[in-house]
Amino acid sequence: MADISGLPGFYRIAEADPGRRALIDTDGTVTTYGELLATVNQVSHGLRARGLGHGDVVAGVLPNGSDQVVMLMATGQVGLYYVPVNWHLTAAEIDYILTDCDARVVVADPSYSVEKAVGVAELAEGQPTTAPEDRSGGAVMWYTSGTTGFPKGVQRPLTGHEPEATLPLFTWFLGEVCDLRTGDGIHLVTSPMYHSAPCAHTMFALHFGHTLVIAPRFEPETVLELVDRYRVDNALMVPTMFHRMLQLPAEVRARYDVSSLRQVVHTGAACPVAVKKGIMDWWGPVLYEYYGSTESTIAFSVKPHDWLERPGTVGRPAPTFEAKILGTDGEELPAGEPGMIYVRSGTGGFEYRKDPEKTAASMRGDWYAPGDIGFMDADGFLFLCDRRTDLIISGGVNIYPAEIEAAILEHPAVADVAVIGVPDEEWGHKVVALIQPMPGPRPSPEELLEHLGPRIARFKHPRVVEFRDELPRTPTGKLSRSKVREEYLAS
């Protein structure tokens, strides 16, 4: 293999070492860096042949796999915005995004009924495999989840420079946060690439020269088998995945060798301390965590040993970031006092596409509020309390659902739980816990409340405990507390 240690990203690595293994698809098909680059170049030419120029938008309604990877890398070298669309959405929801982003070209898998869409092979057909001229960096424009109102595209300015001009900064940043380096790594893709973190890690695995192993979908034993078979050393996951893997019987867990794992990055939701400790007892100190959002990117990060010294933290501000905690009056709060989290970075901002009012509302000057409540300790380590929108105020006291959920999840008969606030005439809100039990006998509500006794203060205990066979989830498998609330109130 060629020495790729000094090469700035996928395109240069593929030219220098075309035989390097780039991608193992869901069906086991192997694609080399040279083969992937040839298709990427063809699609870049194909997009230009359709009249697309700097700043135009391409949308992709594609499952995880080689086509999605090709579109990310093809748009990334010809100055285009690429919008990965959640294919779980309804036709009307997909149409809204395609219209709102002004997509000039829509690429879709044939199994999805998307009008006027083309396939990746159609774009590539008859085009040269050589690099396009006048290369410039593109950007991915992810659409926010739309928990309030319609989703909006998070758009960052294009530099106009070739991709290699900025890639060293980004690979340095991710290296500082996650200890990832250019070389022979194996990255496991476990979540849909239409989400920002899985998508970004997919791209940067290639910019590091790593091999992508794409899981067909998240299933606990499937993931362990892939780690064992391909000697996976890095991956991105969400806490729900950890919880589900810990529920596997000991004899199943023992079948798979996970000693190759070096960096398992997690984000997307608060991880209960007991769950994270359980995984590190099993896999070793390999869990890297970061906190941010589609808008702010990686704002805080923490490495395994720092977390073990301060269980529950999501870390200090990441390189180039500053942070502060503000009270309701806009004044900065002292260490240990919860308030709204604000962050800013010197590496560039964002705007919501075609919505300057929403952009302005999310900012306080050049500081951005991700929408979460938290506090920083005296050493600058951040601890999250909850989403502002999920905060329960009962009898004038702030109650954070995530804290209650983490305590309930420590009960061995609980598979998952959602804690919500429900309107109450006397208290303002009352705390309701909806439990998805493990197979077997269900614990009584009294047993669960007794379990909470030594873990959290009594005023935080749920006043109502109910059981559900299934709790609603997002396509990544993460619990959807907003849907839980809607369904509960509707019933």
- 376 lies in the same domain as 274: yes
Among residues 354, 388, 422, which one ends one of the domains?
388
Q: What are phi and psi of 313, to 5 degrees?
A: -75, 155
Q: pLDDT confidence of 93, banded at 50, 70, 90?
A: confident
- 416 lies in the same domain as 375: no
Parent domain of 460: 391-490
- 21 lies in the same domain as 157: yes
Average pLDDT of span 347-364: 88
Roughly how many angstroms between the first and final C-alpha of the chain, as a whole number? 61
Q: pLDDT confidence of 476, banded at 50, 70, 90?
A: low
More confident residue, 144 or 134: 134
- Check pLDDT > 90 for residue 162: yes
Among residues 363, 388, 413, which one ends one of the domains?
388
Q: Which of 232-241, 243-252, 392-401 has the lowest mean pLDDT?
A: 392-401
Look up the CATH number of the domain holding residue 305.
Answer: 2.30.38.10
Stated pTM of the model: 0.84
- Check pLDDT > 90 for residue 427: no
Q: What is the CA radius of gyration of the chain?
A: 23
Among residues 170, 196, 217, which one ends one of the domains?
217
CB-based burial label for 361 (10 Å; 0-12, 13-18, 19+): exposed
Q: pLDDT confidence of 490, banded at 50, 70, 90?
A: confident
Other CB atoms closer than 10 Å to residue 138's CB: what's the count? 25
Q: What is the pLDDT of residue 148?
A: 45
- 82 lies in the same domain as 116: yes
The interaxial angle of helices 401-409 and 445-452, nearest 10 deg, is 110
Residue 370 lies in a domain: yes
- Check pLDDT > 90 for residue 233: yes
* Percent of the residues in the chain that have a pLDDT greater than 90, as a whole number: 73
> pLDDT tens digits, residue range 377-425?
999 999 988 777 787 878 767 787 888 999 999 999 999 999 998 887 7
- Check pLDDT > 90 for residue 483: no
- 327 lies in the same domain as 180: no
Mark residue 373 as left, alpha or beta (left: phi above 0; alpha: psi -120 to 50; beta: remaining).
beta
- Check pLDDT > 60 for residue 119: yes
List strands edge to edge, sheet with 464-467: 414-424, 428-437, 464-467
Q: What is the pLDDT of residue 396?
A: 65
Q: What is the pLDDT of residue 304?
A: 98
Q: What is the pLDDT of residue 146?
A: 46
In this structure, what DSSP letter does residue 389 have? G
What is the C-alpha separation between 37 and 404, in angstroms, rounded? 49
> pLDDT tens digits, residue range 26-56?
999 999 999 999 999 999 999 999 999 999 9
Average pLDDT of span 120-147: 92
Q: pLDDT confidence of 478, banded at 50, 70, 90?
A: confident
The domain total for the chain is 3
Q: What is the pLDDT of residue 393?
A: 75
> By the 8 A CB rule, do 421 and 386 touch?
no
> pLDDT tens digits, residue range 175-190?
999 999 999 999 999 9
- 311 lies in the same domain as 409: no
Q: In the chain, what are the helix, strand and coil shares in percent, each to the nearest 5?
A: 30, 25, 45
Q: What is the pLDDT of residue 458?
A: 85
Q: pLDDT confidence of 147, banded at 50, 70, 90?
A: very low
What is the C-alpha separation between 244 and 278, in angstroms, rounded? 12
Q: Which residue has the tokens 């898998």?
A: 109
Q: What are phi and psi of 383, to 5 degrees?
A: -125, 125
Mark residue 330 as left, alpha or beta (left: phi above 0; alpha: psi -120 to 50; beta: remaining).
left
Q: Rounded mean pLDDT of the chain? A: 92
Residue 437 lies in a domain: yes
> pLDDT tens digits, residue range 275-302?
999 999 999 999 999 998 889 899 999 9
